[in-house]
Chain A
């Protein structure tokens, strides 16, 4: 199980979701992906995308304009 990061800063939704989706497709079950964005819409959209596609958000935070969401890849 490995940890990865994805820089999705300055991208507007749904682009952070698309980048997350495409990166997750390359990862293995149990891997984690930390997505860093600046669009606060990602706080809604990435968890929604995870719920419908069988992945898990293990943490999310917002600090000084940066939104950081960590996704654990599921086996869906």
Chain B
């Protein structure tokens, strides 16, 4: 009798759980390929490319690393545009910060479900563990993801499958439920033991998950961005810039993004056509972007703050070059702002 080899797509974040979940299914003879969704908020990648000190040791992309360890293909899908609606209007709300975890997981499983239909695969694998995450990985929310994504019983969570109703692959005998697992809760010990059993070392264990939206500081910056614009929207450049530099809002209508080192200054200089800039010329100092429309008084305030972060911070006067978005420059001399006048409330 000829049996058909079943095919599954595994959501690969780059962390340990999705690595183990995919491996557990591969061990049962299923053909597995990986899928990774790039939302723009993924901790993987890009920020390491900005700061000069991090360039000497480029960070690996853990999703690619996981796929290579497993010996599977990885499909990386740009979902930046579609994902905006998840961040801006999450039907299940946010977690502790701006993290729409439940909507996010439902969205990704839905995209994976579309992918298996288009590519003639049989089911979907995730590394979810019941009780591990306070919002999306709970006994009452995991069925919501299966239902709202449309994946239904084609969604297999191998690491905690024994706590959940049998899925279609289990009912059909494509997977042996007994060889799946009963992990639960926040402990990582079972995963670490299974990793050792499979011979995986050097795997990533990001403390805050794989998404900037779970970060308190980052979330505060998004909230500030939306409040200043009077509407909840963003572009990819906005969310990239929130990861770079000091963000200072001395007045409601403009914000400064001040490079903290050479790599950030170089990165910010790529935005000179989108923002007015300030660069200290009499002393070494940061490049500053001005986000918002400013008058002469605002420019002086911005220049004084920017000068405070230059080598001339204790000088009587610092010369800066202000350049508007059209590329027209002028030199101005300012007194660097003393630390005592830098209002803490300005820090975003």
A39 and B61: CB pair below 8 A? no
A41 and B64: CB pair below 8 A? no
Does B59 count as interface, using CB distance less than 8 angstroms? yes
**Chain B min CB distance to A29 (Å):** 16
Does A43 count as interface, using CB distance less than 8 angstroms? yes
Q: Which of A10-28 contact B (CB under 8 A)?
A: 10, 12-15, 17-18, 21
A15 to B240, CA, bound (A): 12
Contacts of A31 in B (CB 8 A): none
Does B174 count as interface, using CB distance less than 8 angstroms? no
Does B72 count as interface, using CB distance less than 8 angstroms? yes
Does A59 count as interface, using CB distance less than 8 angstroms? no
A21 and B73: CB pair below 8 A? no
A76 and B61: CB pair below 8 A? no
A41 and B78: CB pair below 8 A? no
Nearest-neighbor residue (CB-CB) of B49 within chain A:
A39
Does A1 count as interface, using CB distance less than 8 angstroms? no
Q: Contact mask B62-78 → A, CB, 8 Å, 1/0? A: 01110110011111111
User: How many residues of B are in contact with the other chain, CB < 8 A?
Assistant: 30
Contacts of B61 in A (CB 8 A): 13-14, 17, 41, 44-45, 48
Interface stretch, picked from B38-46, B193-201, B340-348, is B38-46
A39 and B73: CB pair below 8 A? no
Contacts of B36 in A (CB 8 A): 14
A52 and B72: CB pair below 8 A? yes
Does B165 count as interface, using CB distance less than 8 angstroms? no
Q: Contact mask B302-336 → A, CB, 8 Å, 1/0? A: 00000000000000000000000000000000000
Q: Contact mask A37-51 → B, CB, 8 Å, 1/0? A: 001110111001101
Does A53 count as interface, using CB distance less than 8 angstroms? yes
A43 to B45, CA, bound (A): 12
Q: Provided the pairs A21-B76, A52-B64 are in contact, do residues A41 and B49 lie with their beta carbons within 8 angstroms?
A: yes
A48 and B38: CB pair below 8 A? no
Contacts of B133 in A (CB 8 A): none
**Chain A min CB distance to B84 (Å):** 16
A54 to B58, CA, bound (A): 23
Does B189 count as interface, using CB distance less than 8 angstroms? no
Contacts of A51 in B (CB 8 A): 68
A40 and B270: CB pair below 8 A? no
A17 to B270, CA, bound (A): 21
B60 and A48: CB pair below 8 A? yes
B44 and A14: CB pair below 8 A? yes
Nearest-neighbor residue (CB-CB) of A39 within chain B:
B49
B58 and A14: CB pair below 8 A? no
A21 to B167, CA, bound (A): 32
A43 to B55, CA, bound (A): 12
Nearest-neighbor residue (CB-CB) of B38 within chain A:
A14
Contacts of B58 in A (CB 8 A): 40-41, 43-44
Contacts of A48 in B (CB 8 A): 60-61, 64-65, 68
B64 and A12: CB pair below 8 A? no
**Hey, which bits of chain B sit against chain A, CB under 8 A?**
36, 38, 42, 44-50, 55, 58-61, 63-65, 67-68, 71-78, 240, 270
Shortest Cβ-Cβ A-B pairs, 4 listed: A12-B46, A13-B45, A48-B64, A39-B49
Between-chain CB contacts (< 8 Å), 16 pairs: A12-B50, A13-B46, A14-B64, A15-B38, A15-B46, A18-B77, A21-B75, A41-B46, A41-B58, A41-B61, A45-B45, A45-B60, A48-B65, A49-B76, A52-B73, A54-B73
13 extra interface residue pairs, beta carbon distance < 8 Å, beyond A18-B76, A51-B68: A10-B270, A12-B47, A12-B240, A13-B61, A14-B63, A18-B78, A41-B46, A41-B48, A41-B49, A41-B59, A45-B60, A48-B60, A52-B64
**Hey, which bits of chain A sit against chain B, CB under 8 A?**
10, 12-15, 17-18, 21, 39-41, 43-45, 48-49, 51-54, 76
